[in-house]
Amino acid sequence: MNKYKLEKAQAWVEAGKQIGKSQFLLKGQHSYYVAAAVQKWRGIYKVSICEIEETQMAGEVFERDEELDFESFEQVIAFFQNSSLILFSELKPLKGQKLFNPEF
């Protein structure tokens, strides 16, 4: 990942901004809605990940719907490298509606 982009993203997160992205992706032969977001809340890095096959959206049958807590920014980066369909470098500050509420 570009060092400048990483530093910029880290600055947003450290400032308490929620950064994220949602999009439709192909996973195998199926279209999925995928969303990922990160926010630092009360000293903890909160990550929300959601994956649902497009045909299952009406019934809200999620393949993955998680909110995870991490103690360090480095752990967040490692999580995205190893466990997310969305790249950390694609996350941007969210305006308006957020992807998750960090209070819960």
Q: What is the pLDDT of residue 53?
A: 96
Q: What is the pLDDT of residue 54?
A: 95
Q: Return d(Cα 62, Cα 56) in angstroms, integer.
A: 7
Please tell me whether residue 9 adopts helix, strand or coil conformation. Answer: helix
Tens of each residue's pLDDT in the chain, 104 residues: 678 888 899 999 999 999 999 999 998 999 999 999 999 999 999 999 999 999 999 999 999 999 999 999 999 999 999 999 999 989 999 877 888 888 86
Element spanning 8, H or E: helix 3-14
Q: What is the 3-state secondary structure (H, E, C) of 26-86?
A: EECCEEEEEEEEEEEECCEEEEEEEEEEHHHCCCCCCCEEEEEEECCHHHHHHHHHHHCCC
